[in-house]
Amino acid sequence: MLPKSSNIQAKLSLYKSLLVKWSKAINLVAPSTLKEIESRHFDDSLQLLEFMPIDAKVLFDFGSGAGFPALVLAIAKPDLEVHVFESDQKKCSFMAAVSRETFIPVIIHNERVEHVDIKTLPQPDVISARALASLKSLLDLSKVWWEGRDDLLLLFPKGERAEAEISEAREFYSFDLEISKSRTDPKARILRLRNIKALA
């Protein structure tokens, strides 16, 4: 896995302690994954860094939940302007606590992506989403940003249904696609999409 500096390690350690503490009161992640936070959540999020453009300035993360991958990427890449979109108020409160305690400036939008006022937001360089919706639905949600832009990168970790989701999405959209194996799950894939266009 990608090397982590002592500063990143310290922030992730604090993130982990907050996740364990808050999970006693609210459902942030699957309880079965709490004993594997480093591999199931941190390393799984960190591996996305190698697929992001070096000069990426703005990241949008849809359905951020407990902050994966967005907050981990914000810790690892401090120059990245990270916007998280999450409709669950309690999860937003948790992400705000992580942001405050680890001194990472994350912009939290407590609303569904489809309801956000896009005129108030910058143009993203990368859009990510982890375990939120099917690929077709993610393309629907992000259309207002990728339409007319060939350079926008959509970065989606997917599970063993990746191929089926790709096939479904291609019935509605054309896109350039690169697929990489996940380093943390042999059944998972990381999808990178650019140059998306809706089929007539």
Residue 1 placed within a domain = no
CATH code: domain of residue 91: 3.40.50.150
The residue-averaged pLDDT of 188-192 equals 96
Name the pLDDT band for 178 (thresholds 50, 70, 90): very high
Domain residues for 68?
6-22+33-198
Mean pLDDT confidence for 170-197: 95
Residue 28: inside a domain: no
Q: In 3-state terms, the chain is what percent helix, strand and coil (to 5)?
A: 45, 20, 35
- Please tell me the total count of domains within the chain: 1
| pTM score above 0.75 | yes
Return the pLDDT at 92.
Answer: 97
Per-residue pLDDT reduced to its tens digit, 62-115: 999 999 999 999 999 999 999 999 999 999 999 999 999 999 999 999 999 999
Give backbone dihedrals phi and psi of 198, rounded to 5 degrees, phi first: -75, 140
Mean of pLDDT over the chain: 93
